[in-house]
Copies of this chain bind each other. A is one copy, B any other.
Amino acid sequence: MYPLTPDMLTSLLKTPLFSQLRHEDVAQILERARPVKIAADAYFFRQAAPARRLYILLDGQIKVTQLTPDGQQVVMRMINPLELFGCVAVLSGGEYPASAQATKDCQAICLDTDEIHRLMHIFPHLAINAFQMMVQRTHELQDRYRELATECVERRLAHTLLRLMKQNSHTEGDLIVLDTPLARQDLAEMIGSTLYTVSRILSQWESQNLIVTGREKISLVTPKQLKRIAEAQIFSADLKKAPI
């Protein structure tokens, strides 16, 4: 594992996946991992390919998407550094249920199915941590399912921007800039809507100074207001009527 910088290593040690493991154990695990580098827009793997490798993202960002039979895309999840992806690889003989596409240049390490099983036997904590991570992820996915089932597009979009902010953003002066290349189409595919509706809502928000948008770029100005929209305490239409 030459390509691991000391920085990455210390980061990896703090990953939930490796919590409770000793440094030398993690080192031993990482010895069995292979590095993978991929340029922006390229794929780590594609839907329906045999799932043989589990990945840990070190740097960059991944978009996990599913294609419907008739060609529509749905974005299932954004993967940020130190997160696991390609977990289906632990089920021997399966296929990836989704594609993993880099939204930026990416570095990752990967482990083969057999290797994972072997390591999980040696280090039960690895399996326990992985289990816990999946429970957490299911929990998150359930929340989004509930949103999709019960909330209107505007609220879903607000939730999504806030979520992206938490996961990956930095501040520039008063602005909170999302560190994700986000076309209207991408947002639409995340919330189960269309790029037109997303565009309209974002335009409206921008005219109310809740956000600032650019080409594939979004910055939040007043996350508090967005949160109120997300929580249904207010609608952006209401802001017009009574601009306090």
Contact = CB atoms under 8 A, between A and B. Distances in A.
Interface residues of A, number: 43
A68 B90 CA distance: 33
Given A138-B137, A143-B97, A192 B148 contact: yes
A76 to B, nearest CB: 5
Contacts of A150: 68, 72, 74, 192
Contacts of A231: 69
A132 B97 contact: no
A3 interface: no
B87 A146 contact: no
Given A124-B120, A127-B120, A192-B150, A91 B135 contact: yes
A224 interface: no
A134 interface: yes
A68 to B, nearest CB: 5
17 contacts: A68-B146, A69-B232, A74-B145, A88-B139, A90-B128, A90-B131, A90-B135, A91-B136, A120-B131, A127-B127, A130-B131, A131-B131, A137-B138, A138-B141, A148-B148, A149-B191, A150-B192
A135 to B, nearest CB: 5
A66 interface: yes
A87 B138 contact: yes
Interface of A: 66, 68-70, 72, 74, 76, 87-88, 90-91, 97-98, 117, 120-121, 124-125, 127-128, 130-132, 134-139, 141-146, 148-151, 191-192, 231-232
B135 A141 contact: no
A107 to B, nearest CB: 24
Contacts of A117: 128
A87 B142 contact: no
A66 to B, nearest CB: 5
A123 to B, nearest CB: 8
A120 B135 CA distance: 15
A138 B96 CA distance: 12
B135 A87 contact: yes
